[in-house]
Amino acid sequence: NAGVTQTPKFQVLKTGQSMTLQCAQDMNHEYMSWYRQDPGMGLRLIHYSVGAGITDQGEVPNGYNVSRSTTEDFPLRLLSAAPSQTSVYFCASSYRRASGDPDTQYFGPGTRLTVL
């Protein structure tokens, strides 16, 4: 298994440009999440999904869109990039335990985004 993969690793955008950060997992996990990490801060939840076709907002959703058309993929879209979106973005996934609770989240390697 490749685990959680993210592309690209690095990206530089100009203000107003759009782009999609890709996230894929090959573990058949139901749950997937997007976080951003800023210097001196912990990770903050942007959006999450509890299964294909189901998404919801986290702590800091403004400026980002997501969709979950398949179990494997959970892309994060920036519609009009702003300098405040300069950050490192992490995708994570987890499976549903026999108890019904989600299991531990496994994180991808991250995408470092700079918006000029």
Partner 1 sequence: GENVEQHPSTLSVQEGDSAVIKCTYSDSASNYFPWYKQELGKGPQLIIDIRSNVGEKKDQRIAVTLNKTAKHFSLHITETQPEDSAVYFCAASPMDSSYKLIFGSGTRLLVRP
Contacts to partner 1 by CB under 8 A: 4, 31-33, 35, 40-45, 48, 50, 58-59, 90, 92, 94, 100-110
CA of 41: how far to CAs of 35, 38, 47, 108, in Å?
Answer: 12, 5, 18, 18
Report, in Å, the least distance between residue 41 CB and partner 1: 6
Report, in Å, the least distance between residue 80 CB and partner 1: 26
Specify the DSSP class assigned to residue 97.
-
Cα angle 4, 45, 65; round to 5? 80
Report, in Å, the least distance between residue 39 CB and partner 1: 10
Report, in Å, the least distance between residue 35 CB and partner 1: 8
User: 17 vs 60, which CB is nearer to partner 1?
Assistant: 60
Please check whether residue 28 is in contact with residue 3, taking contact to mean a CB–CB distance below 8 angstroms.
Answer: no
User: 75 vs 107, which CB is nearer to partner 1?
Assistant: 107
Cα angle 115, 110, 57; round to 5? 75
User: 37 vs 65, which CB is nearer to partner 1?
Assistant: 37
User: 18 vs 62, which CB is nearer to partner 1?
Assistant: 62
Tokens describing residue 57: 């907002």
Within 10 A of 49 (CB to CB), how many other CB atoms are there? 20
